[in-house]
Amino acid sequence: MPEDELEDLPGVGPATADKLVENGFESYQSIAVASPGEMSNTADIGESSASDIINAARDAADVGGFETGATVLERRQEIGKLSWQIEEVDDLLGGGIETQSITEVYGEFGSGKSQVTHQMAVNVQLSHENGGLDGGCIFVDSEDTFRPERIDDMVRGLDDEILADEMERREVEGTPDDEEAMEELIAAFLDQIHVAKAFNSNHQILLAEKAKELAGEHEESEWPIRIVCVDSLTAHFRAEYVGRGELADRQQKLNKHLHDLMRIGDLFNTAILVTNQVASNPDSYFGDPTQAIGGNILGHASTFRMYLRKSKGNKRIVRLVDAPNLADGEAVMRVQGEGLKPE
């Protein structure tokens, strides 16, 4: 949005418009969903002025009013579904990972959480006809898990028909049997994955804000951002806030981080995929004692919660633990060299 349109809001002159744009408030909608405190702190605007600007933006963007269920249903038609390329798992999720939602995948070490984020960074780039979202990926890496070599493996692991389609779409001359053409195609996939390593929880929170800016820059491009992967969401928070005395601070920061991620999903029709660590519940006498960390803050923020559990060999049990409109259930997949595959 041009800056002079922001100046149409009361109290916004050229200098204020510059501050708003510099801090990521580039549209009426992004201003409308902000809080006065947030805008005041990030854009150095008085809280009273920020409140007036936000209220005016809400009126201009028609945000915050009631609407009918039919209108909500019509808007939900815009939500995309990102396929896992595994029919049993897609059925479990009602078609795949939803945009405008947070999907949490948790499980113990080695259960395949990072493999899921890598696979979705590939799958999101596929055409809608092949189960993708025709978009790019932002990958926030907090545990040094991102490996371009795995992207290479997973692209090569796609069906030949899908590979042929992708070569045609990306104007790569050759066939899946042509090694030079495959290397060019893999490079094209890697070009649409934007990776940043988070060094601590504060840096991770900052990267979520940068991700919002990057999604805005790509919104009108050929490859809009359609998924943000955070692997893992909780590692830094868990390491830095130790003990019950720091639990409240940790949860408060985690809550803000989740809302920043959700805002990206809402503003840019993007899927948010986060991985989460687990802990053992000593009070559990029956069943699986493994539980996701993050408490109720994360439990309420996640629209879909999925639990990965190891099985024999490379088999993994995918369990849908919570979803607003889907029944709990389980599916089986394999984690192989060429990516996630059906049983």
Binding residues for ATP: 107-114
Pick from 32, 18, 21, 42: which is nearest to 256 by CA? Answer: 42
β 329-336/304-310 pair status: unpaired
Q: Quote the CA–CA distance of 168 and 166 in Å, as a whole number.
A: 5
First to last CA, the chain: 47
Secondary structure class of 183 (helix, strand, coil): helix
As annotated, the binding site includes: 107-114
The answer to whether the CB of 236 falls within 8 A of the CB of 278 is no
What is the crossing angle of helices 247-268 and 201-218, to 10°?
A: 10
Q: Do 272 and 261 form a contact (C-beta atoms < 8 A)?
A: yes
Please give the angle made by the CA atoms of 210, 26 and 253, to the nearest 5 degrees. Answer: 40
Is 14:7 a contact under the CB 8 Å cutoff?
A: yes
3-state SS class at 287: coil
